[in-house]
Structure formats: structure tokens, C-alpha cells
Amino acid sequence: EAQVTQNPRYLITVTGKKLTVTCSQNMNHEYMSWYRQDPGLGLRQIYYSMNVEVTDKGDVPEGYKVSRKEKRNFPLILESPSPNQTSLYFCASRGVRGPHNTEAFFGQGTRLTVV
Amino acid sequence: GNSVTQMEGPVTLSEEAFLTINCTYTATGYPSLFWYVQYPGEGLQLLLKATKADDKGSNKGFEATYRKETTSFHLEKGSVQVSDSAVYFCALSRNQAGTALIFGKGTTLSVSS
């Protein structure tokens, strides 16, 4: 079954304690990205990756890091979380080959609370 | 720059009512347009898409037509069901490869029986 898997689904942490949210896809997609979803703001892109070892900033990258060492994995790293990073996070992947845009597959989401 | 504007919610309807959720966009070039749906506690799923002007995307009774002259991609359904209650996001792709999606803020639909 084609899927994007995020872990954990729920996380409560304290300010300043480093954390990693993992994302893995089994569709051999080149493109992966992270979004955060906040009330009244919709989804905003944090970082994206066009392929292994290729990452770039999205619209709201401050306070986040990513890495893409393998094609299937795209972890989101918060080196020093702050309360304004409390949000619902989604990982997504899609293929980029062919003349038309292909469907983006989303993970189930990670609800992060920073206290 | 590129952006998507959706009608504000929430939208509250009775079962079997007609649904329209408005979406307009601003973009350079020729973006592809999407509607995604998010059911409670779940991630986003693609509902339908259109890749060029005058294309009509359809799925599960929902339809949307890519109108370049009005830069719109309104979502419609003739008869909603309780199970359609969800948050609906309009989105566009930034470039030809369709890699980056720009989302609207989402419209919450609540359908009562």
C-alpha cells in the first residue's frame, strides 16, 4: 500500500529540548516536503527536497532543519523547540517525472505541543 | 506572487443540499489546480485536480472547473452527505513539475442530517 508514515503522531515536549519527527514514504518519490497547519493560516511549507541530498527552504523555515540522506526518509528536526512551534505537521511526497503534476501523498500528521 | 484564496468557513448545510466552495488564485504561468480534503484526525487526500484551462476535475460527486478567465476553481457538489463533513483545501502548483503546492486556508464543511 502506497503511504507516507510519520512518527510520532502526538508529542508534547519542553522548550529547548531537541526533537526529530520522522517521515518515510514507500513510493520511490523524488520530492518530499514538510508543512505546518495552523488555525486560520492553512498549510505553510517549511522545507522541501527535490531528491537525495537536495533540500531547500519553504515559506516558514526558521527554527527547523531537515536532511535527505536516503530517498525514502525526510526527517524534520527542531534543534531548540519553542512554544510558537506548537502546531500540526504534515509530511508529503510526490513523483516529479512526466509532463503533468502528480498527486501529493500526505502523512497522518504529527501534533506537536511545546510547553 | 502565487496565492490561493478560499471562501471563509465554516459552511453548515443540511444533508442533500447543494454545495459551492469558492476558490480563486493568483499565479504566473499555467498552474495546476487541486482540491484536497481532510477528514477529522487524518491527513490530506487529493479529491480532484485539473491541469489546464477548461479542464473539469471530478470525484465522489464533487466537481471543479479550471476557469482561466476568472482565475477560479470552485468546488461543487449537487447533494452533500453527512460523511462529506471535512476541511477542504484549494491548492495550486508553482511550476510545471508541480512540485510545490500553495494552499488556501481551508474551508470547514459541516453537514447535518
The per-residue pLDDT for range A63-73, each reduced to its tens digit, is 999 999 999 99
Looking at the DSSP bridge assignments, the partners of residue B26 are B3
Residues of chain A scoring pLDDT < 70: 97-102
The pLDDT score that the predictor gives to residue B98 is 45
CA dihedral B34, B38, B43, B49 (to 10 degrees): -20
Instruction: Give the 3-state secondary structure of residue B90.
Output: strand
Residues making up chain A, counted from first to last: 115
Burial letters A80-106, b for 16+ CB under 10 A, else e = ebeeebbbbbbbbbbbeeeeebbbbbb
pLDDT band (50, 70, 90) for residue B97: low
Of the partner residues B42, B51, B101, the one whose CB lies closest to the CB of residue A100 = B51
Taking the CA of residue A33 and the nearest CA in chain B, the distance in Å comes to 8
- Touching check for B87 and chain A: CB below 8 Å? no
The pLDDT score that the predictor gives to residue B99 is 59
Q: Does pLDDT of B90 surpass 60?
A: yes
Taking the CA of residue B81 and the nearest CA in chain A, the distance in Å comes to 24
Q: Mean pLDDT across the stretch B76-101?
A: 85
Integer-rounded Cα Rg, in Å, for chain B is 13
Q: Does pLDDT of B64 surpass 90?
A: yes
Chain B residues 23-52 within an 8 A CB cutoff of chain A: 32, 36, 42-46, 49, 51
Integer-rounded Cα Rg, in Å, for chain A is 14
- Helix then strand then coil, in percent of chain B rounded to 5, is 5, 50, 45
The pLDDT score that the predictor gives to residue B101 is 83
- Touching check for A75 and chain B: CB below 8 Å? no
